[in-house]
């Protein structure tokens, strides 16, 4: 049977108390509506329509040309939201699955199961329900004595006996396209919230002798709808564990899942070890046999194999095989570390390239620099890249040796195989194979300390 999906994402999400539309709040690195769209895509729908409204442009941007959007100018309720897809689905005959944009934990397997049951039964509508220990906030599923579904009652409209029901509406439904929009246009808003409730379609269909079914989700944790930030935190925790389980099953060692935070968008190769208190975010990609952490943060970082990162931060940079980073390194955007390079303790690197096997072992700032292979940057080296107005580049050749505490005043070039004297402030290019030294000669004044009666006490 042909299948289209509608994702409802027009609401403001008042309960989030946020300037950002609710469905764009992130769960493990992805906006929650993106999780829903991914699940929907996996069940092989022919067409997806995303209903946007509140800050609709921002939400629509997310799907680009991957889905059509329908615009709901005023958020008058979920039935009204679905009605806005009438044009987009005008010529569609088949089934229409409706999913809320605020249920990011739903798995595609569950959606498939709902569709299979809907097709099998031939019902006009099939609702995905769940039985919860704490049903508060959800619409309740009211069944007749024979166990058939009769209606869905919203929390705010429910009588005490109805509130005691623990079976809830997940907000996911399958409908026959035929007759759906006619039915929706009949729904009224005479309820506690003055909204057009999609849930009312159940009663409407039953009253007209249409058959309506319900499928109970096996995993109640999956169906959670996010309305506020407390629920967002719960969802984050559930999804985080799911991501870590997937990584562990694929061969990644996660020493302490409780203190490891990895986005859904991250890839990690087998036999890599993630130590505690580590965040791996965005489009980060890590090869095999790496050791990451403890206490590290990677954001949009691409690492090869056998890379060690300890107590460090890497942002928007590429690190090749065999590199060693940290402890306490800060690699800022735009860096490229070639094979076997080292960035050691208390080093900041920005928009710089470190050639194969080159080392910045300690206490340095290297910004807007190009370092050839096999070079060593001594402790305390600073690239003076900023003159207060412009940023300038420093170029260091291959197999160069930058003495400790060198200031490299950019723009400046240090040639292949050359050396700078420790403590030099290099303002002119150093030719290949030369020594660049720029510091005062040392004088010793005999007897000076004794005359001044200066003595050093150590206790």
Binding site for ligand UD1 (CB under 6 A): 8-11, 23, 51, 53, 72, 75-78, 80-81, 100-103, 138-139, 152, 154, 168-171, 197-199, 225, 227
Q: DSSP letter at 184?
A: H
| Rounded-to-integer distance, Cα 199 and Cα 220, Å | 19
Q: Which residue is nearest to Ca ion (CB)?
A: 225
The residue from 25, 118, 362, 399 that is catalytic is: 362
Report the partner that residue 374 touches, choosing among ligand UD1, Ca ion, none (CB closer than 5 to 8 A by kind): none
Of residues 227 and 289, the one with the C-beta less far from Ca ion:
227
Please state the length of the chain: 459
Return the bridge partners of 273, or none.
253, 291
Tell me the C-alpha to C-alpha distance, in Å, between residue 191 and each of 188, 196, 341: 8, 8, 66
C-alpha–C-alpha distance, residues 367 and 359, integer Å: 15
Residue 145 has phi, psi (to 5 degrees) of: -65, -25
CB of 134 to ligand UD1, least distance (A): 13
Question: 296 contacts which partner out of Ca ion, ligand UD1, none, CB within 5 to 8 A by kind?
Answer: none
Q: Which of Ca ion, ligand UD1, none interacts with 169 (beta carbon under 5 to 8 A by kind)?
A: ligand UD1
In contact, 307 and 322? CB cutoff 8 Å? yes
Q: Which of 102, 281, 316, 338 binds Ca ion (CB under 5 A)?
A: 102
Q: Which of 165, 174, 158, 155 is nearest to 215 (CA)?
A: 174
Distance CA 204, CA 325 (A): 64
13 is a contact residue toward Ca ion (CB under 5 A): no
- Contacts of 360-367 with C-beta under 8 Å, sequence gap 24+, read 366/394, 367/391
Catalytic status, residue 35: no
* CA-closest candidate to residue 78, choices 129, 176, 154: 154
From the list ligand UD1, Ca ion, none, which binds 9 (C-beta under 5 to 8 Å, kind-based)?
Answer: ligand UD1
Smallest separation, CB 337 to ligand UD1 (Å):
43
Nearer to Ca ion by C-beta: 227 or 407? 227
Q: How far apart are CA 419 and CA 434, in angstroms?
A: 6
Residues 373 and 338: beta-carbon distance below 8 Å: yes
Q: Find the residue with minimal CB distance to ligand UD1.
A: 139
Report residue 401 as tokens.
Answer: 């040796």
**Min. distance of Cβ 179 from ligand UD1 in angstroms?**
19
Nearer CB in complex with ligand UD1: 156/428? 156
> d(Cα 435, Cα 373) in Å, to the nearest integer?
18
Vertex 398, ends 396 and 404: CA angle to 5°? 55
Name the minimum Å distance from CB 194 to ligand UD1: 11
Partner from Ca ion, ligand UD1, none contacting 77, C-beta within 5 to 8 A by type: ligand UD1
Q: Tell me the C-alpha distance between 430 and 438, whole Å.
A: 11
For the CB of residue 18, give the shortest distance to Ca ion in the complex, in Å: 15
Query: 414 CB contacts (<8 Å, ≥6 apart)?
Result: 394, 395, 396, 397, 400, 402, 408, 420, 426, 429, 430, 436
The residue range among 96-104, 198-206, 264-272, 343-351 that interacts with Ca ion, by the rule CB under 5 A, is 96-104
Residue listed under structure tokens 């759906």: 180
When the beta carbons of 103 and 291 are compared against ligand UD1, the nearer one is: 103
Min separation Cβ 15 and ligand UD1, Å: 8
184 binds, among Ca ion, ligand UD1, none (CB under 5 to 8 A by kind): none
Cβ atoms of residues 325 and 355 within 8 Å: no
Name which of 101 and 374 has its Cβ closer to Ca ion: 101
**Least distance in Å: CB of 374 to ligand UD1?**
56
Contacts with 267 (C-beta within 8 Å, 6 or more apart), sequence order? 284, 285, 286
Could you say which of Ca ion, ligand UD1, none residue 49 binds, taking C-beta under 5 to 8 angstroms by partner kind? none
Contact set for Ca ion, span 215-244 (CB under 5 A)? 225, 227
Residue nearer to ligand UD1 on the CB measure, 168 or 286: 168
Q: Which does 139 bind (CB under 5 to 8 A by kind): ligand UD1, Ca ion, none?
A: ligand UD1
Half-sphere exposure of 96 (CA within 13 A, CB side): 25
Minimum CB separation of residue 136 from ligand UD1 in Å reads: 11
Q: Which is closer to ligand UD1, CB of 76 or CB of 409?
A: 76
Q: Which is nearer to ligand UD1, 76 or 384 (CB)?
A: 76
User: Which residues sit at the interface with Ca ion, rule CB under 5 A?
Assistant: 102, 225, 227
Could you list the active site residues?
362
């Amino acid at each position: 049977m042909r299948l289209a999906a509608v994702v409802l994402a027009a609401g403001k999400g008042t309960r989030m108390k946020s300037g950002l539309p609710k469905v764009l709040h992130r769960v493990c690195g992805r906006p929650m509506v993106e999780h829903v769209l991914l699940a929907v895509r996996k069940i092989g729908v022919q067409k997806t329509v995303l209903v946007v409204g509140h800050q609709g442009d921002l939400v629509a941007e997310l799907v680009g040309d991957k889905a059509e959007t329908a615009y709901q100018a005023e958020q008058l309720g979920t039935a009204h939201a679905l009605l806005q897809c009438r044009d987009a689905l005008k010529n569609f005959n088949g089934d229409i699955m409706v999913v809320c944009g605020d249920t990011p934990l739903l798995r595609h397997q569950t959606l498939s199961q709902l569709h299979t049951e809907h097709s099998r039964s031939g019902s006009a509508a099939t609702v995905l329900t769940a039985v919860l220990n704490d049903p508060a906030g959800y619409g309740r599923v009211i069944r007749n004595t024979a166990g058939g579904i009769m209606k869905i009652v919203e929390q705010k409209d429910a009588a005490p006996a109805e509130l005691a029901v623990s079976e809830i509406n997940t907000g996911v439904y399958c409908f026959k396209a035929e007759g759906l929009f006619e039915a929706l246009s009949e729904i009224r808003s005479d309820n506690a919230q003055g909204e057009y409730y999609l849930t009312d379609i159940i009663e409407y269909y039953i009253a007209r002798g249409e058959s309506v079914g319900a499928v109970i989700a096996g995993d109640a944790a999956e169906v959670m709808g996010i309305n506020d930030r407390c629920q967002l935190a719960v969802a984050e925790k559930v999804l985080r564990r799911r991501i870590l389980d997937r990584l562990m099953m694929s061969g990644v060692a996660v020493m302490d899942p409780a203190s490891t935070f990895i986005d859904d968008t991250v890839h990690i190769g087998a036999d890599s070890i993630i130590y505690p208190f580590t965040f791996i975010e965005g489009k980060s990609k890590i090869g095999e046999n790496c050791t990451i952490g403890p206490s590290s943060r990677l954001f949009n970082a691409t690492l090869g194999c056998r890379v060690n990162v300890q107590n460090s931060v890497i942002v928007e940079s590429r690190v090749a095989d065999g590199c060693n980073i940290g402890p306490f390194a800060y690699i800022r955007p735009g860096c490229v570390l070639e094979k076997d390079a080292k960035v050691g303790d208390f080093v900041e690197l920005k928009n710089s390239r470190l050639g194969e096997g080159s080392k910045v072992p300690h206490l340095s700032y290297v910004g807007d620099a190009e370092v050839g292979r096999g070079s060593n940057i001594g402790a305390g080296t600073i690239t003076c890249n900023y003159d207060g107005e412009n940023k300038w580049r420093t170029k260091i050749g291959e197999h160069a040796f930058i003495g400790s505490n060198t200031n490299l005043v950019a723009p400046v070039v240090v040639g292949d195989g050359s050396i700078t004297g420790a403590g030099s402030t290099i303002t002119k290019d150093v030719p290949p194979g030369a020594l660049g030294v720029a510091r005062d000669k040392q004088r010793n004044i005999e007897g000076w300390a004794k005359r001044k009666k200066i003595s050093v006490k150590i206790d």
